[in-house]
Chains A and B, each alone.
Chain A
């Protein structure tokens, strides 16, 4: 063994603490540098926690019909005239505590958002990786399928799929199928975006020398895709995912308006708004205002995070 040609690298090698590295991280720093982003992050976090711990925070379980008394219905919020101390944000037409309903609804909306993004992402990323890596006719077929998919926006898919699902799953109840239908139809409307992005990045990455090096040691394409390429195409995917999360939550609300949302017994924020909009003229403003506000804040915060992520992950915008 020959003497090293040069002395060992001059990079400082003392390992630093986790916090130290965190503070040094560009992503974290850019996050902390914008007040709006920090606020959006905090709000998202709070809403996430509220959703996760809804059963602990909420005074009642709005999904349990036995605890909603019709007698209590249409009570104004605690702080408004005629309010009842039991109901912080008032009750809806079923006597459901709005505060609890919002907490649980948030949970449902977020779940729908997350699952549909995961669903769309999983399909899109897989197909995108395959199309980008293999190319040729497989690529052509996948991209044509994507074209077909694009002609079916989420609204159309949901309207159609809702019928299909209920016909196929005749014996399961709607409360069960609605969630699946929403996740699938919203997710389906997303996958093309992931597929196109991932395909593009994959076509770039696959010609990178590190992939060639991996091929040289005889790794299988699947392994190369998963271990080497996938981590490197996740950046833009993450950005799309964030923005789609917000979009999915809004889409669910919209679908609820068209009657293919979640059942009113297990309302999401969208369902609450759909129900609440019937009270726009009637003076029971709290039924629509609070869920809408929560939804708007959630969507806004998530979108702002997406914005930040987009800028932060784009090296050219630094």
Chain B
């Protein structure tokens, strides 16, 4: 990956609270190449959405980027003035939110949403914009778009609305689309349809997609690479097939084992004891150490950086050549 489209380095997001800053993202680094789907998984509150919002510059105060840098096409965008950043939004970076029911303004027609957005990003006439809107709708698989375009959001089902939302994100033909849990609110059968649309997006438009979800299944099926997040940090990042089959980080391993599968009934699911710590009480050292069956002293005092293991990276002292107990290294090989 020589020339990533998006490159995030050591991103740190804090919330200013009256008890001092709350570190919500700490040292997040990742790259996405054009045409690639990067999955981000992790438990609720791990910081997945914040990562997406930080990239598109929509963190709500008191949240703010407190360190690190974000580059798009090599240009730094984390410190752009608001007006500049606004120009990027929609045109270079698009974003889709989780809940299709609330992402659309209930008082405006679908067409109004689309035309407004298209006009904001191009020099088209309203009439041309409308034609383009219809084209976009049919592209995301809405039947009879020339009729549906004058409908209101509430007249659409959840799956349809999510397609409209995707169409809206595509209006400015962004190079990067951040999709924050685009299928969570939908039924399994519809989920598959939406995933198909996203995949087509990368194929046809060559866009990069950052797919945020907590569903490993969706990632496994859709993404090229995946980053696993835990308590505001990336604990493992690498090719999906590898991460799913043989996760390196003990958390990722626990996670994979905890997912029940269709393949057969086990007596007990493997479980990770305890719960993710609150942001205000993240332990020193490795954030996962209190729940980690393999933690050793160093884990509790020193924070592991992302260590390269093959063509993957994992933030775990187990993979620090010098200090790892010999036994666990075998897992890697």
Contacts and interface: CB of A to CB of B under 8 A. Distances in A.
Q: Do A and B come from one complex?
A: yes
Interface of A: 5-7, 10, 12, 29, 33
A6 B18 contact: no
Nearest to A5: B271
A33 B273 CA distance: 39
B290 A10 contact: yes
Interface residues of B, number: 8
A7 B275 CA distance: 11
Contact of B274 (A6, A29, A33): A6
A47 B43 CA distance: 51
A80 B205 CA distance: 83
A22 to B, nearest CB: 14
B18 A33 contact: yes
A12 B273 CA distance: 16
Contact of A7 (B18, B274, B277, B281): B274
A10 B18 CA distance: 24
Interface of B: 18, 271, 273-275, 277, 281, 290
13 contacts: A5-B271, A6-B271, A6-B273, A6-B274, A7-B273, A7-B274, A10-B274, A10-B275, A10-B277, A10-B290, A12-B281, A29-B18, A33-B18
A6 B274 CA distance: 7
Contacts of A7: 273-274
Contacts of A33: 18
Nearest to B272: A6
Given A6-B274, A7-B274, 6 more contacts: A6-B273, A10-B275, A10-B290, A12-B281, A29-B18, A33-B18
Contacts of A10: 274-275, 277, 290
Contacts of B273: 6-7
Contacts of B275: 10
Contacts, number: 13
Contacts of B18: 29, 33
Contacts of A29: 18
A6 B273 CA distance: 6
B260 to A, nearest CB: 16
Nearest to B274: A10
B167 to A, nearest CB: 28
B266 to A, nearest CB: 16
Q: Kindly list the 3 A-B residue pairs having the minimum CB-CB distance in the complex, ordered from nearest.
A: A6-B273, A10-B274, A29-B18
Contacts of B277: 10
Contacts of B274: 6-7, 10
A146 to B, nearest CB: 27
Contacts of A5: 271
A10 B274 CA distance: 7
Contacts of B281: 12
A226 to B, nearest CB: 34
Which among A6, A7, A12, A29 has the highest number of chain B CB atoms within 10 Å? A6
A5 B271 CA distance: 10
Nearest to B291: A10
B282 to A, nearest CB: 12
B230 to A, nearest CB: 15
A42 B273 CA distance: 49
Nearest to B273: A6
A218 B273 CA distance: 35
Nearest to B290: A10
A7 B271 CA distance: 12
B57 to A, nearest CB: 22
Nearest to A24: B19
Contacts of B290: 10
Nearest to A10: B274
Nearest to A29: B18
Nearest to B278: A11
Nearest to A33: B18
A221 B161 CA distance: 39
Nearest to A26: B18
A308 to B, nearest CB: 15
A38 to B, nearest CB: 14
A10 B281 CA distance: 11
Nearest to B268: A5
Contacts of A12: 281
A315 to B, nearest CB: 14
B157 to A, nearest CB: 23
